[in-house]
Each structure stands twice: as structure tokens, then as C-alpha cells.
């Protein structure tokens, strides 16, 4: 297992950090979060044309860059740090990964290249209004007929679901339960019978949608009834990815709290000189560095397809969720009253921390999954 980044990876990270600092300052985040889409095509094209980020972990055969989850993790950590408003997690992380796991070679050849170039924005619709993150929660049905399938049901919490061009949907054979009868499908965003509504979300930098399928015609992706395995794998890889995104955001918050404490003067001295602040900052550093170790470990496990990935992905998701949220709470506290205002940027990251804590399963749920994976 890899415990340090190569110098090429470090170089990639620093290029990316500079790029995102320039393209995604807080002013840009605030502008985009007020729009209904939550991102703009022009900015999206720029990040893809200049750095080819949308295809980073997609194999070269399918039009991507051919890197692994460690490089994808670096991209996400830096995007999380910059709080980039873009459909990256929906399209590259969730949808492309699901297609890579579930699709046939022919389907990958057809679907992945436009995602890799960023021309197609895709997303993955798996969770339903019941808010479950496992296969058991899937109720949307896929009824076969004339070599096609018709989808009926409701998907919720779908990242960028109201703007995506292509939707990968997890649905089940009518009457099936649990892991049985699950399949992936693809549906165009403008398909007949599909109604999409942007949800009112706590984190406006990452939009979610509710999708209602009423007899929507869908293409089967991969094997009929064989969706459970690729779904489970996609969820683990996505959890590892989200953990990396979260530690980037947490590190950014930690630094901003430190910068503020060094500036803010009370009682004739900077608040950074008070031991209560110093100790809090030391604790924040511990939280963030431990969570980074977990996130990096999970990314390495995903890259190597390590047998321990199920446990490590859950460990990282739980650990990073708590570190991000705790860091966000401390950061507001260190800022004091100003930290609770709309004008101060802290709440932007706080809200991403809260949303990410729950998305893909909360820490308690993931800890239980980890215990089961380790046979405890």
C-alpha cells in the first residue's frame, strides 16, 4: 500500500491547487450557488479542456486519462478545498464509475468518451425518497417489453439530476427484493415521462434533484439482474472519493480558522496567542491529518482493488465525515459572531460538510458496515 505521493502526483496537486484557486475563488462559488443549475458550461469546459480532469480515472481505451483512484482522490481533495461548483462528483465519480463497473465494453465505448471530455454531463440515480444507501432501498421498477425497459418510480438526492444530460438509474425487476433483480439503465435527461425537480438543499454549492419516472423508456446497462455487485463496488469507490473531497474542504477550513485567529485582536493580543485557541488548532490538525490518512488509504485500496476496500472505504467515509463536520464547527466558533454571518465564507464549507456527512451514508451507518466487513 502506498503511504506517500510520488513527486509527479505532488506536482499534479500543486498545479491543480493554483488552477482552482484562480478559477474557483469564493466569489465564483457564491455566484454559481445562486443559479438554479449550480454550475456553468463555460467554467466546466475550461477545467476540462485545460487539465482533462473529467476523464482522470477513465481508461484511455474509453477516452480518459487512464489514472487511478489516487489521482482522482487528489483532484477531489483540491476541488473540495476550493469548493468548486461543478457536476464533477455526479458525472466523473458516480456515473462514469458506475458505467465502468456495470457496462459492457461496447457500452463503455459509447458512453464514456463524451463523459471523459466533459461534453456529456451524467449522473447516477440510485437513492429514493426513503433515503437508503443500500440495494434494499431500491423500489423503482424496470419492466421489460419489446427488447427495452420501462422505468417507474421516484429517485431522490440525485446530484445535478435536474441538469444532467445522461442519467444512470438503478432499478429492479418487478417483484424482486434485496440484491436480486437489480440492474443499471441509462436514460436521457429529456426522456419522455421523466419529470425532474431541483430540490431545496442545505448546500447550494452541490445541487440535488428529485426525478419521477413514469413509464420512461430506458436502455439496459450491463447484465439484467446483475446490478448488485457493480452497485456495491461503485458505492465503495464513491465513498473513498467523497472522503478525499471532504479532507480537502476540512483542511481549507482549518487553515482559514488559523489565518483568522492570527489576525483577530481581543484583549490587546491576537486570539491565536490564547492557549485555548492553540490547543483547539492542534486538535483540528490532528483530526484533519488522521482523516487524510484514512482517505488516502481508501483511495490506494480502490486503485489496487484491495480485498480490504469495503472496510477501508467505510472507515474513510465515517472518519472524514466527522473530521470535516468537527472542523467546520470549530471554524465557526473561532470566527465568533462573524462566523455565523452570510458574508463570511465559512458557512459555504460548513454546509458542504453537513451535506457530505449524510450523502452516501452517515458515519454510524458506515462504521457498522466496516465492522461487518471485518467480521466483528
- Closest approach, Cβ 51 to other proteins, in A, equals 24
Bridge partners (DSSP) of residue 198 are 209
Among 12, 39, 133, 296, binds other proteins (CB under 8 A): 296
Contact 299, 70 (CB under 8 A): yes
| Number of residues counted as binding other proteins (CB under 8 A) | 36
Task: Please choose, out of 87-95, 112-120, 205-213, 314-322, the segment that lies near other proteins by the rule CB under 8 A.
Answer: 314-322
Q: Beta 265-266 vs 269-270: how paired, if at all? A: antiparallel
Among 9, 65, 281, 333, binds other proteins (CB under 8 A): 281
Among 11, 60, 136, 283, binds other proteins (CB under 8 A): 283
CA 52 from centre of chain: 18
Task: Please choose, out of 24-32, 59-67, 139-147, 254-262, the segment that lies near other proteins by the rule CB under 8 A.
Answer: 254-262
- Closest approach, Cβ 371 to other proteins, in A, equals 5
Nearer to other proteins, 107 or 273 (CB): 273
- Closest approach, Cβ 282 to other proteins, in A, equals 4
Buried b (16+ CB within 10 A) or exposed e, 42-56: ebbeebbeebbbbbb
94 belongs to the binding site for other proteins (CB under 8 A): no
Distance between CA atoms of 239 and 360, rounded to whole angstroms? Answer: 7
Query: Which residue's entry shows cell 450557488?
Result: 33
- Closest approach, Cβ 362 to other proteins, in A, equals 12
Query: Which residue's entry shows cell 485567529?
Result: 261
Helix (H) or strand (E) holding 221: strand 208-221
Nearest to 103 by CA among 25, 183, 21, 47: 183
- Closest approach, Cβ 287 to other proteins, in A, equals 10
Distance between CA atoms of 32 and 159, rounded to whole angstroms? Answer: 15
Q: Which residues bind other proteins (CB under 8 A)?
A: 3-4, 258, 261-262, 269-270, 272-273, 275, 277-279, 281-283, 285-286, 289-294, 296-297, 315, 318-319, 364, 367-368, 370-371, 374, 376
Amino acid at each position: 500500500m502506498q503511504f506517500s505521493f510520488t513527486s509527479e502526483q505532488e506536482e499534479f496537486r500543486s498545479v491543480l491547487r493554483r488552477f482552482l484557486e484562480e478559477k474557483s475563488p469564493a466569489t465564483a462559488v457564491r455566484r454559481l450557488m445562486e443559479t438554479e443549475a449550480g454550475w456553468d458550461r463555460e467554467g466546466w469546459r475550461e477545467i476540462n479542456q485545460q487539465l482533462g480532469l473529467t476523464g482522470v480515472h477513465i481508461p484511455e481505451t474509453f477516452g480518459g486519462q487512464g489514472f487511478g483512484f489516487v489521482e482522482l482522490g487528489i483532484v477531489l481533495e483540491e476541488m473540495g478545498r476550493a469548493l468548486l461548483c461543478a457536476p464533477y462528483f455526479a458525472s466523473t465519480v458516480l456515473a462514469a464509475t458506475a458505467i465502468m463497473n456495470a457496462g459492457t465494453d461496447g457500452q463503455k465505448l459509447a458512453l464514456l468518451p463524451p463523459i471523459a471530455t466533459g461534453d456529456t454531463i451524467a449522473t447516477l440515480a440510485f437513492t429514493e425518497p426513503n433515503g437508503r444507501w443500500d440495494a434494499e432501498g431500491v423500489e423503482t421498477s424496470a419492466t421489460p417489453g419489446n427488447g427495452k425497459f420501462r422505468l417507474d418510480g421516484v429517485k431522490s438526492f440525485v446530484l445535478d439530476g435536474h441538469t444532467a444530460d445522461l442519467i444512470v438509474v438503478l432499478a429492479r425487476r418487478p417483484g424482486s427484493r434485496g440484491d436480486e433483480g437489480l440492474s443499471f439503465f441509462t436514460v436521457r435527461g429529456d426522456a419522455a415521462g421523466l419529470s425532474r425537480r431541483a430540490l431545496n438543499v442545505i448546500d447550494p454549492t452541490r445541487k440535488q434533484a428529485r426525478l419521477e419516472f413514469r413509464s420512461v423508456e430506458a436502455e439496459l446497462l450491463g447484465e439484467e439482474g446483475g446490478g448488485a455487485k457493480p452497485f456495491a463496488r461503485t458505492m465503495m469507490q464513491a465513498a473513498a472519493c467523497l472522503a478525499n473531497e471532504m479532507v480537502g474542504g476540512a483542511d481549507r477550513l482549518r487553515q482559514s480558522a488559523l489565518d483568522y485567529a492570527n489576525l483577530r485582536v481581543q484583549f490587546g493580543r491576537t486570539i491565536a496567542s490564547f492557549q485555548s485557541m492553540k490547543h483547539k488548532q492542534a486538535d483540528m490538525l490532528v483530526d484533519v491529518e488522521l482523516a487524510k490518512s484514512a482517505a488516502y488509504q481508501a483511495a490506494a485500496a480502490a486503485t489496487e482493488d484491495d480485498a480490504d476496500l469495503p472496510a477501508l472505504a467505510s472507515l474513510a467515509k465515517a472518519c472524514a465525515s466527522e473530521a470535516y463536520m468537527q472542523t467546520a464547527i470549530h471554524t465557526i466558533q473561532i470566527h465568533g459572531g462573524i462566523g455565523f454571518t452570510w458574508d463570511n465564507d465559512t458557512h459555504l464549507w460548513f454546509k458542504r460538510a453537513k451535506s457530505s456527512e449524510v450523502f452516501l451514508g452517515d458515519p454510524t451507518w458506515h462504521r457498522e458496515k466496516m465492522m461487518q466487513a471485518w467480521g466483528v
